[in-house]
Chains A and B, each alone.
Chain A
């Protein structure tokens, strides 16, 4: 294991962290504003992947282009989901069980509709870029990963501008920081929640479509990524947008470098164990988690 190999792994981890951030940010915005854990996250990621596939197979649109197209489509899908279901379950200062079970039900539905429509076969998207790599001083970088990283980064910049320079974005940040105060300040929570859910799903769909460029997928796709998103969100402090990026880097680094120490067959267990550990011992400076701890007896 030379220095070059370590450097290669490091670059791979950073490229992975970009898409991981995009994937988790959707979960974070929804949690921040609505205090809901989106258990249907995996379902929407899977839809994102098949969206890219369909666009490429039927309309011959480049999968990278359709990832971007996924944003408005999934925004509308998210808004529709909120209008038709999510808004009817109670919200509180922490996730409620009805919301958890509702979204879990939605995940089951999406996943099995996926099986019905696309079957259980492994699918993947090939384009001219799939196998291309480029080298820089001994570091090999797959071009497609670099582009995906770029799009992910751009989406995050766009989100940042959006949150800081629009009225809706400010409402989102206000409600995330203090729901009650936000309400008192006259923010229409219902409307903001609806648009936020749309925004969260838009990012989830985008992440699904981007990941479809990198991995093969089935309707099962997304569940392991959803767990990673949980880990990242928890590591990042549950509702901090910048925390998500840090969480994503940590998870990507651990996953990438664990290849060196953990046997391959246990590789999959890492994110699950990380999830439990993160929930338990890394409160990430959030008051909510401290309060959860305070009750031990």
Chain B
């Protein structure tokens, strides 16, 4: 597996505050790469810079040997990098179908043949569990489905790398399990996933590798097992071992 995305020396200041400091990491093609850390650790800021919503103060972001740091999001998405938002931001006044259609028509790296768009959208809605909701105004969706729509709209852009920002936040265990299994299926289908999450169990079960951020800096990086056993992480950030130790299996739907 080769490096798909490599981030070097990424830094972002807001006024005098450094939200992300000198961050280095590489993401391999076809993995689920988790980013964890307490609130304000700079996870979303790092994400926003990769997705083009924020311009880095310094640093480099390379995607397939192309420097994309500072590119606006509408350009980044055409390379195949698309994000979802922690708090879903659906186009509330448009239908679910239209939400996905925007992603498909504008974010797609290639224009699909005309007739197939409706089928393609239907396929994505079905995959994300939204079939039957297509004609509903997106503003009327409950939280769980808003998260699904966030995912569906991003998938419509045919991403190579999907950036998921706390996509399970605020969901119940069943919904969480559903979404996680979707992410794994996407990975198995060849999509590389960067995944910010608060829910430790979700991260531990789903990610191939994990990076821990604290105060905008990288604290550790490795497989879930390595992270779980990393003394530095436990001491400096987790504080108490029991929190990690309680990794109960979560029920998964077939």
CB < 8 Å neighbour of A297 from B14, B54, B72? B72
Tell whether A128 is near chain B: CB-to-CB under 8 Å.
no
Question: DSSP majority for the A interface?
Answer: loop
Q: Are A296 and B72 in contact (CB under 8 A)?
A: yes
Q: Are B74 and A297 in contact (CB under 8 A)?
A: yes
Q: CB-defined interface of A275-297 with B at 8 Å, one 1/0 digit per residue?
A: 00000000000010000001111
Q: Are B55 and A297 in contact (CB under 8 A)?
A: no
Q: CB-defined interface of A177-214 with B at 8 Å, one 1/0 digit per residue?
A: 00000000000000000000000000000000000000
**Distance A296 CA – B54 CA, assembled complex (angstroms):** 11
Q: Are A287 and B15 in contact (CB under 8 A)?
A: yes
Q: Total contacts A to B, CB within 8 angstroms? A: 9
> Which residues between 72 and 96 of chain B lie within 8 Å of chain A, taking CB atoms?
72, 74-75
CB < 8 Å neighbour of A294 from B15, B55, B74, B75? B55
Q: CB-defined interface of B54-82 with A at 8 Å, one 1/0 digit per residue?
A: 11000000000000000010110000000
Question: DSSP majority for the B interface?
Answer: loop
Q: Which residue of A lies closest to B75 (CB)?
A: A297
Q: Which residue of A lies closest to B52 (CB)?
A: A297
Which bucket holds chain A's interface residue count? under 10
**Distance A294 CA – B49 CA, assembled complex (angstroms):** 11
Q: Which residue of A lies closest to B70 (CB)?
A: A294
B187 vs chain A, min Cβ distance (A):
30
**Distance A18 CA – B14 CA, assembled complex (angstroms):** 33
> Which residues between 137 and 164 of chain B lie within 8 Å of chain A, taking CB atoms?
none
B64 vs chain A, min Cβ distance (A):
21
B interface residues with partner A (beta carbon < 8 Å) = 14-15, 54-55, 72, 74-75
9 sample A-B contacts, Cβ–Cβ < 8 Å, listed by A number: A287-B14, A287-B15, A294-B54, A294-B55, A295-B72, A296-B72, A297-B72, A297-B74, A297-B75
Beyond A295-B72, A296-B72, 7 extra complex contacts between A and B, CB < 8 Å: A287-B14, A287-B15, A294-B54, A294-B55, A297-B72, A297-B74, A297-B75
A interface residues with partner B (beta carbon < 8 Å) = 287, 294-297
